[in-house]
Amino acid sequence: MPSSQLLNDRLAAAEQALLEIENLACDLRVLLDKLRAEVLPELLARALRVLPELLARDLRVLLDKLCTEVLPELELQKDNTRKAGNSDAVWCPDCEMWLNGPTQYEDHKIGRKHLKNGTLKACDGPSCGEQEAVAASLVCLTALAEEASAADEDTAPSCDDEPPAKRRREK
């Protein structure tokens, strides 16, 4: 009988250990719930408070690198390309583009895009509305002239709200 007593004692000890494990598991669940409810939101809030500072610092580092390394390299390449291609290149500040020479620049200055860019960039004073109206008129007149020269008919279309394709179909 001593072996059955020993077996019963071990069974009782195992049951006791199992109860302690269940209690520990329950305590662990309570701690995890508390962690989820209280600690994680606080950690997340701290991380979100620090994140903009970290991103700003990283952005400053990237911008510094861009300004000190990348942009000078690109300007050097651009200058080399311009020098190799044509030393007479002319810069148009209104359109922010290089032109191959003075002749092309003179032609460019009377073009629709240049006129539009020039009037829109100069538009910073009280006469802004007038300048926009002039620019719109120039664009409209240029479009009318192009339509008139391309049309087979003798009459030039008027500048109204209808698109040119619609006016042609209705005639």
Q: Residue 123: which region, alpha, beta or left (left: phi > 0; alpha: psi -120 to 50)?
A: beta
pLDDT of amino acid 20: 94
What is the Cα–Cα distance from 145 to 6, expressed in whole angstroms? Answer: 112
For residues 80 and 92, is the Cβ–Cβ distance under 8 A? no
For residue range 26-64, what is the model confidence (pLDDT) as tens digits? 999 999 998 888 888 888 888 888 888 888 888 888 888
For residues 110 and 103, is the Cβ–Cβ distance under 8 A? no
pTM of model > 0.85: no
What is the Cα–Cα distance from 48 to 17, expressed in whole angstroms? Answer: 44
Alpha helices by DSSP H, the chain: 2-34, 40-65, 71-85, 102-109, 112-121, 128-150, 164-170
Residues 6+ apart with CB under 8 A from 112: 138, 139, 142
